Structure 1
């Protein structure tokens, strides 16, 4: 018999442990919370740790907004060795005796900030002729994927603990591969490199302060303390202007009917997406065009 689960709605911010896939983490959270529906807001590699936002119930309708949000990662590059996977999982393919010093590393960073072109790792989820690149790579077909535009908002050199390693922090947009960033840092400095440690510390507005380990989450679920870990659906939509409606207006929108608002409504853009609220609760997402607001995605709460 198919598992149904409870109508739990909101976001759980998990601190994903090392070695677990994002799908495994999602399955565990869904089991702990007994949620009827669940989805995650952006895959983390098994060798990465950190922020994995998990949507429960109607929050799954906002996953796309979280997946496109800015992210922050802290990572360590090991100089002098390239690997098949650009991290510690793959075999070493190239070696170099060159070790960049702190001054050279800091001078290199500005060239990677802004809109840049990046070649994704061969071991990635990008599809090539209908197949995942990592599946082809595992069969021995090491493809050189086409470079694509990504956005790097900021780069910081955190530490150089020894000549072989450097620790960085990056703020980036959707689609950036940190493994590729480490590889390209090394190449630009005349050596080889790969990532040895990778941790995501922020996704949109969700950071480490909001995150729970799976063990902590299990304890809270056993105490039935959902209020302690469950964040409201609308926290994923903080950067979308909010439109507050009366009960009757919200009912019209829920039935798929457009509503009229003043052209000069304070604090609202003349067009674009809006988060609709009524009685302190999220109604859904809507699209404004001049004085008309039409529903896009509605929440069944």
Structure 2
């Protein structure tokens, strides 16, 4: 007989874990592993990374999940390598080779393509992606051999640097891009512009918004820690709104704001505001200011605030 599985006792955990996602795991698999290690009740991530990609994956727990959309919308930076002269069915090393061409690429060619692909672009999402059509992911259609029509989307390549790698017929791609940009598709399009085709052989997200790999922890390191050390790795929920304007309210105004009421004050108009209480000092949520009115957006509830204050650690200081 098998011994009964030990049931994990879940608990309220609030904050942001900056994970360096490992190769081979889906974003959801990495999330579930971290959630189990923290014994967290509620968790979500801020945008998927393919199993073949590694790097920055902010994981949100508890109250922080209310603000995860902010980093879904954030610009992201990637380092990738692309093999020239070989196109695959998936645009990466997992697919079958469908075209092979001779490669004749000069530094001048790379500079020309850098300019061509920097700025606003229209990009057709790949079939091997998690985008959904009629409730079904595109990659599921692709596995069945079905090609689905996809509308082109507007994206922006803010920065692009292409360099020859040590390996023959391989280039390195450094790119900072807007949300919704597929680096696999960018690699394929760059290959076509170079006249030889290409597919990605590696992909690493090195930054999302203000977060980068230097702030991240691996699952292996997290697993080796004690529970207290794991909790100490969490950034507070307000780390997700570090770029917002800041408003601090007194106790009475804070209570009314948390109940969804607008507050009046001498604040300049602002589309993104992080709101804090002063007594006690606590993050309350987001808002915007119009005509001297502070208008509530996403709010923490009093129970979440109490749990955060009770479990505050030295790393959980407001900015």
TM over 0.5: yes
Rounded to whole Å, the distance in 2 between the matches of 1:40 and 1:4 is: 22
Number of equivalences: 295
Q: What is the match of residue 56 of structure 1?
A: 61
SS of structure 2 residue aligned to 1:225: helix
SS in 2 for 1:253: helix
Q: Distance in 1 between matches of 2:251 and 2:150?
A: 52
Q: Does 1:245 align with 2:249?
A: yes
State the match for 1:168 in structure 2.
173
Contact 1:183 1:192 in 2 (8 A): yes
**Is contact 2:222-2:230 (8 Å) kept?**
no
Structure 1 CA distance for aligned equivalents of residues 9 and 246 of structure 2: 32
Q: Which residue of 2 aligns with 1:298?
A: 299
What is the RMSD computed on CA atoms of the aligned residues?
1.8
- Answering whether residue 85 of structure 2 is matched by residue 86 of structure 1, we say no
Q: Which residue in 2 is equivalent to 1:257?
A: 261
* Partner in structure 1 of residue 216 of structure 2: 211
Q: Deviations over 1:174-202 (max 9, x none)?
A: 00000000000010111110000000000
Q: How does 1:104-123 map to 2 (within 5 A)?
A: 104-123=109-128
Match of 1:29 in 2: 34
Tell me how far 1:114 sits from its aligned partner: 1.2
Matches of 1:3 and 1:255, distance apart in 2: 34
TM-score (norm 2): 0.88
Match of residue 308 from structure 2: none
Q: Which consecutive residues of structure 1, in runs of 5 or more, have no partner in the other structure?
A: none
CA distance in 1, matches of 2:284, 2:227: 30
| Distance (whole Å) between structure 1 residues aligned to residue 100 and residue 147 of structure 2 | 19
Preserved CA contact (<8 Å) 1:271 1:290: no
Relative to 1, partners in 2 of residues 1:258 and 1:144: Cα closer, same or farther, differing over 3 Å?
A: closer
Shift of 1:144: 5.0
* 1:275 matches 2:274: yes
Q: Distance in 2 between matches of 1:223 and 1:35?
A: 11
How far is 1:162 from its partner? Answer: 3.4
- 1:168 Cα deviation after fit: 1.2
Cα gap change, 1:143 to 1:255, in 2 (>3 Å): closer
SS at match of 1:224: helix
Contact 1:102 1:160 in 2 (8 A): no
